Amino acid sequence: MPEMPSADLSALIGLLDLVGIAVFALTGALLAAQLRQTFVTMAFFALVTGVGGGSVRDLLIGAPVFWVRDPWVAPVCLAVALVSWFTPRRWWDKPVLEWADAAGLGAYAVLGTAKALAFGVPPVPAVLMGVITGCVGGIIRDVLAGRPSILMRPELYVTAAALSSVLCAGGAVLGLDKGLVWPVAAVAGFGLRGAAIWWRLGLPVYSAEREG
């Protein structure tokens, strides 16, 4: 399992990373716009939301933080902030953004799990790395904005990331083909998150009866 990522795998990881980064950065920038913040704050939010989850993952698994030595990731986040600043907000109305975020969530969770496995992390912590990659950027964004984070809402968000991560790690444990497992895992998480958006699904919360 502690194989190093191959060149192809690295290229795919890099591509998925950019997809997730741009979408997540956009959610951060738009939250800043909604909160009537300045451009500098908007850029900071775009960056933190875009790279926060992957940064925590890389620090935890002991990998070089992916965007720090990369000349393109940070400029992409700043460009997303620029675009958000100069375009009307109705271009980015909530449904479009929520669905894009759902796609980013699935892709990012798979990417995070795969990177952790490639660095020799055992399956259960690797699943957690996938969840962290998908969710922590948004959690930091919400904590900085002083609003209840996605973590504290019953909607299926963290759960969708967990589904993608478990499928990805499960496929690796069973030795299945990555070219099959990864898209299936990403689509499954996207589908669960999409179902939650569409039918307003939520998890059951801890019930009062258990306290009796």
Distance CA 163, CA 7 (A): 27
User: Which residue of 4, 124, 177, 200 would you call a contact of its own copies, by CB under 8 A?
Assistant: 124
State which of residues 1, 10, 15, 64 lies at the interface with its own copies (CB under 8 A): 64
* Tokens (6 digits) for 104: 């980013």
Residue 157 near residue 197 (C-beta atoms within 8 A): no
> Phi and psi for 201 in degrees, rounded to 5?
-75, 150
Q: 202 phi and psi, to 5 degrees? A: -145, 165
Considering the complex, what minimum distance in angstroms separates the CB of residue 29 from its own copies?
Answer: 10
Amino acid, single-letter form, for residue 88: P
Please give the residues from 82 up to 111 whose contact with its own copies meets the rule CB under 8 A.
85, 87-90
55 near its own copies (CB under 8 A): yes
Q: Are 181 and 172 in contact (CB under 8 A)?
A: yes
By the criterion CB under 8 A, which residues form the site for its own copies?
A: 32-33, 35-42, 44, 47, 55, 59-62, 64-65, 67-71, 73-75, 78, 85, 87-90, 116, 120-122, 124-125, 128-129, 131, 139, 143-146, 148-149, 151-152, 154, 158-159, 162, 202-206, 208, 210-212
